[in-house]
Structure 1
């Protein structure tokens, strides 16, 4: 398809100013769902996306979803272009809501003005997930009348808020989403120059843990020694979940190797620099760095009730509470991991302290089928567009709606692509997108849709 690749590249080049302008105008809409998913600003955002997709041949409409309790939900964009009832159907997903900007002074540019610097476009939502919308728009425009697959689109309005109305909406509109292939453009590439399919996502489960040693506070000078304070007991309990290498060692909490095999391990120096790790810290765990970040479980204490240092005094804390966030292996049911974690915590209480576990929400992980036909087509399209072999990668984070999509449409082949790269700073100050990477992503998706049409 080298000649056709050249044709698509020329079409994308000719359309490039429109694509970048679309993205800049999307940034300016300030589509922050945390400021109210039902707000007029979110409705405007949805209508903008619907209008832009109509310009590239998709019959779209804006629909307000509702939450499981019946209250009004997000403004969603749905649409389709049906070219042949016998052709495969591809669902294109992205989301139009963006993360908030708590402190604009932490940005080098105005977060809601698309600003190009050194080949990157800066602005909130430039990568996550305005880039996904731009990819879909550019690919559909590039194909034009060459499109040989039926296309359905769903541009979500509350992904950054956890998608509370996502499942009710999909289930009520299932016929509008049924498809052979689902392309989720909400992840990213190995780098701006090296493309990737995202092969897996970890799941997530949370628990609140209460550790109690006393029924009331007592003086640390009078009783300290035989009685350990609840914070210390909690620290001992948390530490007991790890072995000497720093691997999580809770029976029943599964670990996996990278899905589809590991093509290239992550570079430790880059990870250390990107995460801001202090020089003296030695990375915990064993095995490839990729497996530790993508497919092995990880535990994080995300909340801890303890007296502040300011105003502290000599008393033994009788009890404390902390919250654990457990990222689970892609294929493990999170409730199974949660039950195993609760069992471990309640049976490993230091010195017989009382331990109570309150089980919170669960989110399933996801693993790509590396043998799916759509995967082969996607990898070929990436190589043709970028000119280099793709390097597949996992993600340590969780996107619970992807396994839910797979559950509702079990026959569909799911591909997770996206506009981000390691410098994108999604969810952080100075979010940006590589414009050269975006251009190649647009070309990739156009070529992929062409391959799926065969």
Structure 2
């Protein structure tokens, strides 16, 4: 069977794509100055802007957004009366976590066992390279048939909403007929997948105070209120006996009626240790995509190293709450605050800080843009049909764009299939997946342009 010309072109461009991804991964672009200097994000933004200019994008600008981050914007004009498609990615990344646990340096793209390893390789610097590959393939085969707007933000991982607020203040900037969010992933390596639902997210910090200072546990233990113990009691109240998330006012029994996630596959993907059970009830898909899920992502108290026999006077935790489509993030945050306040014992003083927030999203997979993507993926992945799955993560910008541009069709694809291990050590991207998804995007843009003309 003869390969499609677009596929042949993308294949020929892969060495260049690897070199460019290596350059982009080298920036330690964590949007948290406690982890990496801001100059790393600024340098990554400048690199993205230069890449857009090299592809003949016009009006290229590095935008200063309200949260202090930078987003890169540009327009590639298409034929007269062509539809406009917005392509999205982000260049900021998660912290490296335990550097010693990385087999190769986290900010040095390294090929190993057929994959390319490095922080951001899949999430989501590879997503930007995917967009470039698709556009280059179209240029080499007759031209880009749509007007393309590109937006690449710098604080998605922090959830601080810089680009959302910028877009809301400048609604004409990103107006488009269709939007491709290149920040999700296939359900399984080699299985073409669009993400039809995203959970919403709220991130908070809760602080508990009980004493004016730490006390000797021998002299005062047993009667003095322990702030860390109070915090632990409150955190424990967020889960039922079976591990299900329990927050008063949030429904815990949603059902996912789409593509299912076999438990054994999930255990393998999640690297669950032998013999360790999974929390919650219902199917894995129910728990991931249709129900609220709370995670304690960090606790501040005195570390074990150097600990003294003292009663803690203060303790603090950071909590992530994911909620399914249909649950308002602002209301869920209020319910979380109220639940914790109710369950902190001994009338300990409790205070809250909002860190990040974003609403859930559900797509209409029967729309014309999705049909165009299904046709494209059938070519890029011979013998496979496009699947629709949920994703447990959150992309706050998606709902902001849906509210700003209710007529725009929003598609979510990307490189973060389970083997990519995004947000963990040894993150990687499959070059084969990058190649096939780039072909998919290029063919989608062509199909979509034809559907709008027809």
Settle same-fold status: TM greater than 0.5.
Answer: yes
Match of 2:76 in 1: 80
Paired with 2:212 and 2:251, the residues of 1 have a C-alpha distance of 36
Describe the shift of the 1:120–1:308 C-alpha distance in structure 2 as closer, same or farther (beyond 3 A): closer
Match of 2:202 among 196, 205, 224: 205
Q: What are the residue-to-residue correspondences of 1:160-175 with 2, within 5 Å?
A: 160-162=157-159, 164-175=161-172
Match of 1:149 in 2: 146
Match of 1:90 in 2: 85
Deviation (angstroms), 1:417: 0.8
Task: Please say if residues 299 and 316 of structure 2, whose CA atoms lie closer than 8 Å, have aligned partners that are also in contact.
Answer: yes
1:58 aligns with 2:53: no
Task: Please say if residues 200 and 294 of structure 1, whose CA atoms lie closer than 8 Å, have aligned partners that are also in contact.
Answer: yes
1:358 aligns with 2:352: yes
CA deviation map 1:35-62 (0-9, x unaligned)? 66852x5444334333433444433523
- SS in structure 1 at match of 2:402: helix
Match of 2:44 in 1: 45
Paired with 1:258 and 1:117, the residues of 2 have a C-alpha distance of 39
Deviation (angstroms), 1:218: 7.7
Match of 1:417 in 2: 413
Deviation (angstroms), 1:270: 4.0
Paired with 2:417 and 2:288, the residues of 1 have a C-alpha distance of 16
- SS in structure 1 at match of 2:72: strand
Describe the shift of the 1:110–1:325 C-alpha distance in structure 2 as closer, same or farther (beyond 3 A): closer
CA deviation map 1:325-376 (0-9, x unaligned)? 32222331122112223333344455x6446352524322222223332223
Match of 2:192 among 191, 195, 220: 195
Task: Please say if residues 76 and 147 of structure 2, whose CA atoms lie closer than 8 Å, have aligned partners that are also in contact.
Answer: yes
Match of 2:118 in 1: 123
Describe the shift of the 1:146–1:258 C-alpha distance in structure 2 as closer, same or farther (beyond 3 A): farther
Deviation (angstroms), 1:178: 0.4
Deviation (angstroms), 1:217: 7.5
Paired with 1:271 and 1:335, the residues of 2 have a C-alpha distance of 30
Task: Please say if residues 255 and 329 of structure 1, whose CA atoms lie closer than 8 Å, have aligned partners that are also in contact.
Answer: no
Match of 1:183 among 159, 175, 180: 180
Task: Please say if residues 148 and 450 of structure 1, whose CA atoms lie closer than 8 Å, have aligned partners that are also in contact.
Answer: yes
Match of 2:376 in 1: 381
Deviation (angstroms), 1:123: 2.6
Paired with 1:107 and 1:47, the residues of 2 have a C-alpha distance of 27
Displaced runs of 4 or more, over 6 A: 212-228
Paired with 2:28 and 2:159, the residues of 1 have a C-alpha distance of 18
Task: Please say if residues 46 and 77 of structure 1, whose CA atoms lie closer than 8 Å, have aligned partners that are also in contact.
Answer: no
CA deviation map 1:165-196 (0-9, x unaligned)? 31343245432310011101112112221121
Task: Please say if residues 210 and 349 of structure 2, whose CA atoms lie closer than 8 Å, have aligned partners that are also in contact.
Answer: no
Paired with 1:229 and 1:242, the residues of 2 have a C-alpha distance of 21
Match of 1:8 in 2: 6
Paired with 1:206 and 1:189, the residues of 2 have a C-alpha distance of 26
Q: What are the residue-to-residue correspondences of 1:174-253 with 2, within 5 Å?
A: 174-209=171-206, 229-253=226-250
Describe the shift of the 1:14–1:354 C-alpha distance in structure 2 as closer, same or farther (beyond 3 A): closer
Compute the TM-score of the two structures, normalised by the length of structure 1: 0.84
Match of 1:394 in 2: 390
Q: How many residues align?
A: 443
Paired with 1:158 and 1:372, the residues of 2 have a C-alpha distance of 30
Describe the shift of the 1:214–1:393 C-alpha distance in structure 2 as closer, same or farther (beyond 3 A): same
Paired with 1:116 and 1:451, the residues of 2 have a C-alpha distance of 34
Describe the shift of the 1:73–1:217 C-alpha distance in structure 2 as closer, same or farther (beyond 3 A): closer
- SS in structure 2 at match of 1:358: strand
- SS in structure 2 at match of 1:17: helix
Higher mean alpha-carbon deviation, 301-310 vs 17-26, is at 301-310
Compute the TM-score of the two structures, normalised by the length of structure 2: 0.84
Task: Please say if residues 78 and 144 of structure 2, whose CA atoms lie closer than 8 Å, have aligned partners that are also in contact.
Answer: no
Describe the shift of the 1:442–1:232 C-alpha distance in structure 2 as closer, same or farther (beyond 3 A): same
Match of 1:288 in 2: 283
Paired with 2:94 and 2:303, the residues of 1 have a C-alpha distance of 30
Match of 2:448 in 1: 452
Deviation (angstroms), 1:415: 1.0
- Structure 2 gaps, min length 5: none
Task: Please say if residues 188 and 420 of structure 1, whose CA atoms lie closer than 8 Å, have aligned partners that are also in contact.
Answer: yes
Paired with 1:366 and 1:152, the residues of 2 have a C-alpha distance of 22
Paired with 2:319 and 2:130, the residues of 1 have a C-alpha distance of 37
Task: Please say if residues 181 and 410 of structure 2, whose CA atoms lie closer than 8 Å, have aligned partners that are also in contact.
Answer: yes
Match of 1:338 in 2: 333
Deviation (angstroms), 1:141: 1.6
Paired with 1:390 and 1:93, the residues of 2 have a C-alpha distance of 21
Task: Please say if residues 254 and 328 of structure 1, whose CA atoms lie closer than 8 Å, have aligned partners that are also in contact.
Answer: no
Deviation (angstroms), 1:398: 2.1
Deviation (angstroms), 1:280: 3.5
Match of 1:368 among 354, 358, 363: 363
- Structure 1 gaps, min length 5: none
Paired with 2:438 and 2:353, the residues of 1 have a C-alpha distance of 42
